[in-house]
A and B are shown apart, each in its own frame.
Chain A
Amino acid sequence: MNEELKMLEAELKGLAPAVLDPSLLDRFEMAIQGELEHLEPDLRVTEQMLGKQAPAKLPDGLAGELVETVRRTPFPVDGKLLMFPGESSAKPATKSSRSWMAAAACVALAGALSAFFISPKDDGPTMVSQPNKPSSTVVNQAADRGAFVPASFNSGVRDTSDLGVVWPERSRPMRVVKVVYRDQVKLLNQQGEEVVVEVPRVEFLVVPEKID
Chain B
Amino acid sequence: MKEEEDQKVMETTAPSLSPAGHAWREWLDENGPRLLLFARQQTRSQEDAQDILQDALVKLVKKLEDGSFSGGQEAWMPYLYTALRRLAIDVGRRDDRRRRREDLVSGDSVFQRGEVEHPWFESDSSDDEVRSQIEAGLKELPPKFAEVIVMKIWGEQTFAQIGESLEISPNTAASRYRYGLEALKKKLGSARRKGDLSI
Contact = CB atoms under 8 A, between A and B. Distances in A.
Interface of A: 27, 31, 36-37, 39, 42-43, 46-47, 49-60, 62-67, 69-77, 79, 82-88, 90, 92, 167, 169
A53 B134 contact: yes
Contacts of B16: 87-88, 90, 92
A57 B18 contact: no
A55, A69, A82, A88 — most chain B CB neighbours (10 Å): A55
Q: Would you list the 4 A-B pairs with minimal beta carbon distance, nearest first?
A: A71-B21, A36-B174, A55-B33, A75-B23
A66 B20 contact: no
B118 to A, nearest CB: 7
Contacts of B175: 27, 31, 36
7 contacts: A50-B134, A55-B154, A70-B28, A70-B57, A85-B18, A85-B20, A90-B16
Given A39-B178, A56-B118, A71 B17 contact: yes
A51 B34 CA distance: 12
A75 B185 contact: no
Interface residues of B, number: 57
A42 B131 CA distance: 19
B21 A56 contact: no
Given A51-B154, A53-B121, 14 more contacts: A37-B159, A53-B134, A53-B154, A56-B118, A57-B29, A57-B122, A62-B50, A67-B14, A69-B61, A71-B24, A71-B25, A75-B24, A76-B72, A82-B20
Interface in B3-47: 6, 9-10, 13-21, 23-25, 27-29, 32-34, 36-37
Contacts, number: 156
A25 B23 CA distance: 49
Contact of A46 (B6, B18, B24, B184): B184
B83 to A, nearest CB: 14
A73 B24 contact: yes
Contacts of B9: 60, 64
Contacts of A51: 153-154
B119 interface: yes
Contacts of B184: 46, 50
A71 B20 contact: yes
B118 A75 contact: no
Nearest to B73: A76
B58 to A, nearest CB: 6
Contacts of A49: 130, 134, 188, 199
B54 interface: yes
